[in-house]
Structure 1
Amino acid sequence: MSYQESNKPWWKQLWPWLLISGPAIAVIGCAITIWLAYNLYADVSLHEGIVKQGLKVEQVSK
């Protein structure tokens, strides 16, 4: 490594970005997984008073 290359600021070097990229990709993947779980697989009401939770379908008493 030359003297000129060692005096570069940290953001212009390759190694910090390689080290940051792994955890950054994991955080993005986790955020996407949470969004998918919350928005796509929410338990919804089938009819008035009937609720499906997973494979179980039950009638809610009022």
Structure 2
Amino acid sequence: MTSRTRETEALSEGLPWWRHRWPWLLILGPALAVVGCAITIVLAFQSYGDQAIIDGGARQGLVVTAPAASAAQR
């Protein structure tokens, strides 16, 4: 029996959606994207979350400001 015949029989039997192959194949792409995004966020915070500002800027909350001398040189 071919896979096409099995799929046709499964559709005609009225099986629940999770017993079919296509919904899982469609869910796989977005699920992998969510997992990859979560891993990227965790790695970003672990590796670069508390690095010092090297070029002499001042951090005030979420805003990083450059000193007046450095800003004039640019």
TM superposition score category, shorter chain reference: 0.5 to 0.7
Give every structure 1 segment of 4 or more consecutive aligned residues whose post-TM-superposition deviation is greater than 4 Å.
none
In 1, Cα distance between equivalents of 2:17 and 2:23: 7
Structure with bigger RCO (C-alpha 8 Å, 6+ apart):
1
Match of 2:47 in 1: 40
Structure 1 unaligned regions, length at least 5:
45-51
Which aligned pairs between 1:1-62 and structure 2 lie closer than 5 A? 1-2=8-9, 5-6=10-11, 7-44=14-51, 52-53=52-53, 56=54, 58=56
- Structure richer in helix, relative to its length: 2
Alignment root-mean-square deviation, CA:
1.9
Q: How many residues align?
A: 49
Q: Normalised by the size of structure 2, how large is the TM-score?
A: 0.57
**TM-score (norm. length: structure 1):** 0.66
Alpha-carbon deviation of 1:57?
Answer: 5.0
Report % sequence identity: 50
Q: Decide which structure has greater strand share.
A: 1
